[in-house]
């Protein structure tokens, strides 16, 4: 088990507390393994009727995967640790699948930063997931900012968001708050931060079998306090611009719109990896017609292709290692991205019988 993953069972509820505050609970391979081991054990434990995942800090539930580890391992030879990178993504995506289809209520307290890999461990499936946001929630799938793509099931949950909202979030990588998360369908209920002590008391006192319903009832009076959704207000604009048939067409469309919302989206996209925006768009188009397991298998292949190409290594270098904020994207401009470059990312890495996630149902 990991020192950063604390677990206990009380009143029929398994409680997972992420406790790596200095790194905003960024996921290491050890943490992924601890979460998987815990959830597998509790899945078959008749003494556990529900699961709650939360943080020891109000700053973040989880800021994503440990990208410093990605950079270090991705630059290593197999004997130097790059095999661990393969393990990380295989096991992380298998964990995301386990959470999506967890047979017991899976309740995530998305207080503070919830980004990238944090979304993967917070997004319980529609049958059992209950996702709580607060006014401190800062949610994003910002992978295109580091030369990656929205993974951990993002090809499924973003592509199934209403209209072109998922395309907007995937291509811009911009952060949203509680009201937008609720509108997009990536959260279920709002609880003010001031009410979290009472929520924790409720969790401690309520039998696990009754917990999900009790939390929904507790949160109901606060629903209007989440505020108005900007994405809802801008929905027609989002659908018009981000429904275009290519990344270039999206940006041309945004260039013709002088509203602050459109210009903010355009400014963000100008900073992102041109290649990975194009890969992301293609991934979301494909993901819209695929089930969760197929999406995760697609993402697993895309990760391998990405590290072969090196775009994520350059993105992490620029933003986290050297902090020069001047990534040298390859290719550097959108008009240099060819259909062949994008298609290369979707070529099978393994035959179907050897895919590392072939066993996902």
Contact 194, 134 (CB under 8 A): no
Q: Would residue 116 show up in a list of annotated catalytic residues for this protein? A: no
Contact 270, 63 (CB under 8 A): no
* Other beta carbons within 10 Å of 45: 13
**What is the H or E stretch that residue 210 is in?**
helix 208-219
Which residues lie below 8 Å from residue 221, measured CB to CB, with a gap of 6+?
A: none
The Cα–Cα gap between 202 and 125 comes to 23
Question: From the candidates 111, 151, 282, 314, which is the catalytic residue?
Answer: 151
Cα torsion angle, 338, 171, 83, 95, sign = negative
Q: Would residue 14 show up in a list of annotated catalytic residues for this protein? A: no
What is residue 53's three-state secondary structure? strand
Q: Would residue 3 show up in a list of annotated catalytic residues for this protein? A: no
The Cα–Cα gap between 87 and 209 comes to 34
Question: From the candidates 65, 112, 116, 120, which is the catalytic residue?
Answer: 65
Q: Would residue 310 show up in a list of annotated catalytic residues for this protein? A: no
The Cα–Cα gap between 73 and 81 comes to 5
Question: From the candidates 49, 92, 111, 143, which is the catalytic residue?
Answer: 143
The Cα–Cα gap between 38 and 104 comes to 13
Could you tell me which of 158, 162, 36 has the C-alpha nearest to residue 99? 36
Instruction: Estimate the crossing angle of helix 235-242 against helix 165-172, to 10 degrees.
Output: 70
* Other beta carbons within 10 Å of 286: 15
Return the residue matching tokens 């391998």.
304
Could you tell me which of 174, 126, 175 has the C-alpha nearest to residue 153? 126
Cα angle vertex 169, ends 54, 305, to 5°?
Answer: 90
Task: Establish how many alpha carbons lie within 13 A of residue 345's alpha carbon, considering only the half-sphere containing its beta carbon.
Answer: 27
Residues labelled catalytic: 65, 117, 143, 151
């Amino acid at each position: 088990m990991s020192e950063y993953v604390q677990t206990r069972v009380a009143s029929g509820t398994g409680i997972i507390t992420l406790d790596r505050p200095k790194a905003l609970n960024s996921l290491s391979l050890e943490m992924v393994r601890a979460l998987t081991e815990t959830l597998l054990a509790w899945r078959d434990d008749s003494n556990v009727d529900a699961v709650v995942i939360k943080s020891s800090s109000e700053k973040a539930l989880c800021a994503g995967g440990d990208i410093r580890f990605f950079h270090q391992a991705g630059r290593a030879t197999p004997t130097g640790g790059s095999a661990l990178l393969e393990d990380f993504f295989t096991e992380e995506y298998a964990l995301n699948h386990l959470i999506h289809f967890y047979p017991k209520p899976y309740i995530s307290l998305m207080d503070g930063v919830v980004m990238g890999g944090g979304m993967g461990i917070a997004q319980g499936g529609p049958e059992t997931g209950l996702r709580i946001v607060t006014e401190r929630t800062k949610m994003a799938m910002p992978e295109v900012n580091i030369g990656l793509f929205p993974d951990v099931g993002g090809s499924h949950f973003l592509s199934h968001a209403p209209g072109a909202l998922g395309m907007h979030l995937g291509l811009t990588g911009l952060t949203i708050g509680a009201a937008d998360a609720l509108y997009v369908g990536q959260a279920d209920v709002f609880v003010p931060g001031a009410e979290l002590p009472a929520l924790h008391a409720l969790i401690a006192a309520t039998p696990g079998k009754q917990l999900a319903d009790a939390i929904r009832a507790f949160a109901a009076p606060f629903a209007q306090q989440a505020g108005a959704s900007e994405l809802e207000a801008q929905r027609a604009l989002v659908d018009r611009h981000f429904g275009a048939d290519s990344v270039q067409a999206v940006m041309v469309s945004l260039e013709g719109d002088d509203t602050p919302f459109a210009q903010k989206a355009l400014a963000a996209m100008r900073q992102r990896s041109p290649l990975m925006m194009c890969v992301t768009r293609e991934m979301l188009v494909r993901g819209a017609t695929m089930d969760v397991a197929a999406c995760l298998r697609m993402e697993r292949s895309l990760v391998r292709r990405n590290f072969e190409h090196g775009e994520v290594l350059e993105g992490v270098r620029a933003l986290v290692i050297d902090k020069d904020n001047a990534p040298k994207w390859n290719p550097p401009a959108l008009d240099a991205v060819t259909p062949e470059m994008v298609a290369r990312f979707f070529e099978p890495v393994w035959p179907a019988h050897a895919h590392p996630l072939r066993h996902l149902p």
